[in-house]
Structure 1
Amino acid sequence: MAVKTNCVKNGKKYYRLAVTLGRNSEGKLIRKEFYGISKSDAEEKRDIYLNKINSGIKKDFDKLFLGKTINNWLIEVVKLSTKPSTFDRYYGIYKNYIEDTTLSFLKLNDVHPTDMQQYYNNLKKKGKTSSVIFNLNKLLRSFFNYAVLQDYIQKNPCLANKIKIPGDLRKEKKKIKVFEDSEIKLILNAPEDSTIKFIALSCVSTGMRRGECIGLKWNDIDYVNNEIHIRRSAKTIAIYDDNMKKHYIPTIQTTKTYESERDIPLPTSLINILNKIKELQNIRKEKAGESYIDNDLIFCNEVGELLDDSNLTRSFSRFLKRIGVEYKHIHCLRHTYATKQFENDIPLKTVSKLLGHKSIKITADTYTHVLKRHKDKTIDILSSV
């Protein structure tokens, strides 16, 4: 009897099946695929994997503790289905606000919304922001959705209709800062040809995120259509080994959201800057010789490797100090770009697309005060006729 297969991978025939492991913090299904030389082989691999996840768990539901079960879920499920940077953020929340806390030692099937509410209220009293508590609840809500799906518990105790985040998220929202025209001129005219200067000018003239900027390659610059193709992002991420020890590695990854992969205008003023970068890069190549690895990156270190963005904030701070500009976070360059677009009457929808926001609401919420200024400029139609 011929072996039944249903897919081809790397030129070989396999039987493939998939299982749903739950949902991530964005509500998207977490799915994992298993491949075997036959259906029974794939099923066996699936069962081994699920048994590994649930080892010592499903046997005694009443003995499950919240902390240990969340830890297992993060390592065995979430780690496999999210970006390393996303997993690092989630795992950091777990280490800071769940592990070794009163929550951790609650039995899973005993957790009640009042337990969660009391814990959140205590965090607020200790000075934690509503934003921190909101993100903690978001992670816990996702975990409890998984726990319900796995029949560990009957109901999710962290649903929105059961929990109230203490404080006011709207009041805690920080007002964005932008660079003044005089400060932008000082950056532009800085008497140095440094990487951080060129990154700053690229970000403020295009609105790119810093990761998108340092992930740019020369083939992303379309001089024919005067466009910049944003297709990736660079970030120094935390990689966890089998012992959950953290290692930091600069890496290329996908853009923040699907909408972040976009084409934006290539400003005429940036072309001269790109030409200058190219000249300096050619000098570096000659100096480095065979040590130089050409990755086609626009912004790279002396031997062509990806920049470590963890040092970027410090480099930017020192650069601003050298030229006499008051410190603002490097992300404020992006805010400056967006604000300038609004001040020049570019429509909200267009600015949202230029920034690569997931929705127009994000843009509107971020730049509320700028939009309000423009709303105040509107005329009274009846009084003008």
Structure 2
Amino acid sequence: MANKTNCIKNGKKYYRITATIGRDSNGKLIRKEFYGKNKSEAEKKRDLYLNDIKSGLNIGYEKVTLGDLMHTWLFEVVRISSKIKPSSFNRYEGIYRNYIKNSSIYNIKLSDIKQLILQRYYNELYDNGKSSNVIKNLNKLLKSFFNYEVDEGYLIKNPCGKRLVIPGEQEVSKEEIEVFSDTEIKALIKALDGNRLKGLILLALGTGLRRGELLALKWSNINTKNLLLSVEKSISQVSVIGKNGERIYKTIEQAPKSLNSIRKVPIPKNLMHILEEQKILQKKDKLKAGLSYEKNDYIFTTENGKILNGRNMARTYERILKNAGIKYKKFHSLRHTYATKLFERGEDLKTVQTLLGHSDISITSNIYTHVMPEKKISAAEKLNDLFA
């Protein structure tokens, strides 16, 4: 028996039914059409749609695509959030541009996204040479996006579930941190003589401040009487992305990494003369530059009083190590050295966590306890009396 139809659409016969799904902003009824090969199929589509609406999904949820909605979320929600730093948004935008835009999942309707579709896409990326870490970061961003769309009523549940596998992911062994030895520290101090970065590098070694925190230090942050410095800001040089995707390279001053990063750190007494040298250097720069000198309160500046450029500073730092005959270590290794030397001198974990500004004591423990195996040995020795 032939299926009974009641309309023709694009040259094909269908059975069409309509349903009222709500009202628009003017109070007018919104009606939606459902098509099937027969009445039963059309009714099934209608009932499924109405059940989804009752479950909390937005009217029209079935029309939006993953790529379009994610672009809107990224640029109109994430970008303007006070909780997201420009450097973080820069990273998110890069993930979207490289792995969502123009990808095989961009035009998939959000309502059609299933875990298996994402799994196949991740597998495809891995087979094409993308690392597990890249895919893991993509999954993390998609998970945040889907969580938002669940709240907005475009999805019932997040497809980035626990059963989703990151291809090639393995438990990575803890990366061994690099620290400067006492011999290297002496060679570094000698190589810094007469260099503009002397104060900055030695203060990094003596206080454990991050690079951005050092660049943001002002003279008003220094308490010479109590030998303390206050960490209140951090400076980053990043590409700030506008609403339309335009990029502007900016130097921005922002809050440090976490609330715990806002802290007071003692300055070793023997480093105070380094700060005095830095003050004298700035006075000479002002005299030489004259009216072109940029007035501000920052401690570490260029000859014209401007904030130091992080990239230029990194290049100069690398040359200093090379001239000192020291194998290259990241600038962050100065911070690692600070913490390690404190532990070697018997400082407790909680104090070091506070001085470093870590948000949780487990972060400090996970990073540094493995660099001092002798402490573990001495801890075990304390139990010898149990077996005497």
Q: TM-score, normalised by structure 1?
A: 0.79
**Deviation (angstroms), 1:59:** 6.4
Residue in 2 that maps onto 1:235: 236
Residue in 1 that maps onto 2:296: 295
> Which structure has the bigger radius of gyration?
2
Change in 2 beyond 3 A, CA 1:67/1:381 = same
Structure 2 residues not aligned, in runs of 5+: 1-57
- For the residue of structure 2 that corresponds to 1:93, the secondary structure is helix
**Deviation (angstroms), 1:61:** 2.4
Contact 1:235 1:252 in 2 (8 A): yes
Structure 1, 106-115 or 190-199: larger mean CA deviation:
190-199
Residue in 1 that maps onto 2:206: 205
Contact 1:239 1:248 in 2 (8 A): yes
- How is 1:115-154 mapped onto 2 (pairs within 5 angstroms)? 115-154=117-156
1:86 equivalent in alignment to 2:85: no
Looking at structure 1, the residues matched to 86 and 175 of structure 2 have their Cα atoms a distance apart, in angstroms, of: 27
Residue in 1 that maps onto 2:176: 175
Looking at structure 1, the residues matched to 100 and 181 of structure 2 have their Cα atoms a distance apart, in angstroms, of: 42
Looking at structure 2, the residues matched to 127 and 347 of structure 1 have their Cα atoms a distance apart, in angstroms, of: 44
Looking at structure 2, the residues matched to 381 and 365 of structure 1 have their Cα atoms a distance apart, in angstroms, of: 23
Change in 2 beyond 3 A, CA 1:123/1:198 = farther
- How is 1:1-385 mapped onto 2 (pairs within 5 angstroms)? 60-81=60-81, 82-159=84-161, 161-168=162-169, 170-171=171-172, 173-190=174-191, 192-370=193-371, 372-384=373-385
- For the residue of structure 2 that corresponds to 1:367, the secondary structure is helix
Structure 1 residues not aligned, in runs of 5+: 1-57
**Deviation (angstroms), 1:116:** 2.2
**Deviation (angstroms), 1:382:** 4.6
Q: TM-score, normalised by structure 2?
A: 0.79
Looking at structure 2, the residues matched to 359 and 59 of structure 1 have their Cα atoms a distance apart, in angstroms, of: 43
Change in 2 beyond 3 A, CA 1:238/1:59 = farther
Change in 2 beyond 3 A, CA 1:374/1:104 = farther
**Deviation (angstroms), 1:167:** 4.1
- AA aligned to 1:75 is F
Looking at structure 2, the residues matched to 173 and 97 of structure 1 have their Cα atoms a distance apart, in angstroms, of: 28
Identity of aligned residues (%): 43
Change in 2 beyond 3 A, CA 1:357/1:130 = farther
Change in 2 beyond 3 A, CA 1:158/1:312 = farther
**Deviation (angstroms), 1:73:** 0.7
Change in 2 beyond 3 A, CA 1:163/1:335 = same
**Deviation (angstroms), 1:119:** 2.8
**Deviation (angstroms), 1:195:** 2.8
- For the residue of structure 1 that corresponds to 2:251, the secondary structure is strand
Contact 1:221 1:227 in 2 (8 A): yes
Report how many residues are paired. Answer: 327
